[in-house]
Amino acid sequence: MFIIKDPRSYSEFIFETKKETFVFLTTKNKYNNSVLSSYQLHRLKIGDAQLIIFDDSEPTNFYHFKQKFPKLINDISPQNIVIISSNLFYTLNPNTFKKDYCPYKIFYFNDFFKLMINRHVPDNGSLDVIKHFTCLSRVDKYFRRYFYYLLKTNDLLPFGFVSHNRVTNSTDDEDIYFENMIKNIILNYDQYLEISNSKLVLDDNSKSVIFNTTNFSKNSGIEVVLETSIKGCNFVSEKTIKAILNKNIFLLVGGYQTLNFLKKLGFKTFDHIVDESYDSIKCDFSRTTAVFNSLKKFCTLSLDEVEKIKNDNQELLEYNYNHLLYNLDTTFDLKNKVEAYFNKGEFNGTN
């Protein structure tokens, strides 16, 4: 019998395995405090133990995992390793639609997604569209600052439910090329810094508002998804998933061809409603600007027109919702999955 007790935010659960089992928690760039000991590594290498790796602090993929931990699991049998990821598409190579070879058992678990499923599934009530868009961000990033600056200076804030920079005043996630593009285009850079670094919250529960977004999305015509990263990969996190779960039309500030990536996975997007040509723009700055231009044009519609568009596309929104829940492996029973992988001989599980 083995107990996992709240390794990050999960509830305690107990499962039975045939071998001694160790848990390893990854972080963005380094090992956590409980680095595998020499005893644990020895037991794993001789095959007398097994390892659960929670690679779920950010929805990265196996390509990134190999870069972060190139020697962690050398000489350990793949049969004795399970990787738990918060990325539905963990085994896909960045910038491609090809699968990366991963010899380990992998399955998907995203705590935020689980909360959305359990608590925030949209009801069948009236749409009551009262704003053109929802655009929520919690952590400050360079492209989010720029997008908020565009919203503010183009007087679009009254058209949406908007939150910005609710946690930190600045970010270490910079892009010099992106910032230089801003400096070349924006005449008053000091004004840009003042606006883009400001905070905007929707209510007194600003730190938890990201978990209570259903009504914002339900009461808006379109959701602007400000993804975790827009650099060099088809990065799909709970932010995009949230828009699909909320059954909303969305614009995606993400990586180059991320919409195409979603289409390859079977989702439908909204080029019949908004200009999605931004997805084919390689320059991150130009692509972000193009997403904003699509939003700005959408905001010229009346709310009656927006509500009609949303009503007319309910079948498409239901399709995406059902495809996410029932056609992809998004189950959350860690106990049963761990037991199945370790005790029943299942191998090379997929996410």
- What are the distances in angstroms from CA 335 to CA 11, 44, 309? 11, 21, 42
Is 32 found in the same domain as 151?
no
Average pLDDT for 296-319: 96
Is 228 found in the same domain as 105?
no
Confidence class for position 325, pLDDT limits 50, 70, 90: confident
Burial (CB count <10 Å: 0-12, 13-18, 19+), residue 19: middle
Q: Closest Cα to residue 7, out of 118, 107, 111, 87?
A: 111
Judge whether 299 lies within some domain.
yes
- pLDDT over 80 (residue 276): yes
Total number of domains constituting the chain: 2
Is 299 found in the same domain as 166?
yes
- What are the distances in angstroms from CA 63 to CA 50, 55, 78, 93, 251? 22, 12, 17, 6, 27
Alpha helix segments (H runs only) across the chain: 38-45, 62-68, 111-119, 142-153, 176-185, 189-196, 214-218, 238-245, 258-264, 284-298, 303-312, 314-322, 334-343
Supply the pLDDT for residue 133: 97
Judge whether 350 lies within some domain.
no
Is 337 found in the same domain as 322?
no
- pLDDT over 90 (residue 287): yes
Is 301 found in the same domain as 215?
yes
Judge whether 351 lies within some domain.
no
Is 303 found in the same domain as 204?
yes
pTM: 0.75
Torsion, Cα 137 138 144 146, to 10 degrees, reads: 100
Judge whether 155 lies within some domain.
yes
In this structure, of 144-153, 205-214, 260-269, 301-310, the range with the lowest mean pLDDT score is 205-214
Is 168 found in the same domain as 80?
no
pLDDT digits over 12-43, tens only? 556 677 788 888 877 654 544 446 788 988 99
Mean pLDDT of the chain: 81
For residue 189, the domain's CATH number is: 3.40.50
- pLDDT over 50 (residue 207): no
pLDDT digits over 39-77, tens only? 988 999 998 998 888 887 666 788 888 877 777 777 888
The DSSP secondary structure of 28-85, one letter per residue, reads SSSB-SSPPPHHHHHHHHTTSEEEEEEE-SS---HHHHHHH-TTTTTTS-GGGEEEEE
Confidence class for position 212, pLDDT limits 50, 70, 90: low
Supply the pLDDT for residue 336: 72
- pLDDT over 90 (residue 319): yes
Is 94 found in the same domain as 217?
no
Is 337 found in the same domain as 310?
no
Q: Which of 80-84, 122-126, 304-308 has the largest mean confidence?
A: 304-308
Supply the pLDDT for residue 186: 92
Q: Closest Cα to residue 220, out of 246, 245, 198, 197?
A: 246
Judge whether 15 lies within some domain.
yes
Is 198 found in the same domain as 71?
no
Confidence class for position 208, pLDDT limits 50, 70, 90: very low
pLDDT digits over 163-201, tens only? 998 766 555 567 889 999 999 999 899 999 999 988 888
Judge whether 81 lies within some domain.
yes
Is 228 found in the same domain as 258?
yes
Is 98 found in the same domain as 165?
no
In this structure, of 2-16, 39-53, 238-252, the range with the lowest mean pLDDT score is 2-16
In this structure, of 36-45, 132-141, 202-211, the range with the lowest mean pLDDT score is 202-211
Find out whether 109 and 56 touch, Cβ atoms under 8 Å.
yes
Classify strands 2-4 and 220-226 as parallel, antiparallel or unpaired.
unpaired
Domain range for 166: 117-327
User: Which tokens in the block code for residue 115?
Assistant: 């909360």
Judge whether 348 lies within some domain.
no
DSSP annotation of 219 reads T
Judge whether 127 lies within some domain.
yes
Contact residues for 196 (Cβ-Cβ < 8 A; gap 6+):
145, 146, 148, 149
User: Which tokens in the block code for residue 199?
Assistant: 């905070």
Average pLDDT for 324-350: 66
Contact residues for 56 (Cβ-Cβ < 8 A; gap 6+):
8, 26, 84, 85, 86, 109, 110, 111
Residue with tokens 């850079």: 189
